[in-house]
Amino acid sequence: MEAIKTNWITVDEMRNRLSISKTKAYQIATNGSLNTVKIGRSLRISEESFERWLESIRYTRAFGGEEMN
């Protein structure tokens, strides 16, 4: 069986990409919109789910919808 390779980013990496506060980044990461995994005390976000989520926000804003939190 072939292993599935997933790239993970930290909450801090997401925060830097979006230029948002650490608190807001953790709110987004834990609200169920993103695929995450907790390893010990560290939270990791699937880069693929982050990119999909980001595109959904761009799409929503482009067509006059409300911002996703």
Amino acid of residue 1? M
Per-residue pLDDT tens over the stretch 1-15: 676 788 999 999 999
Q: Mention every residue, 6+ apart, whose C-beta is less than 8 A from residue 65.
A: 59
Q: What is the mean pLDDT of residues 9-35?
A: 96
E strand or H helix that includes residue 3: none
Amino acid of residue 5? K
Stated pTM of the model: 0.77
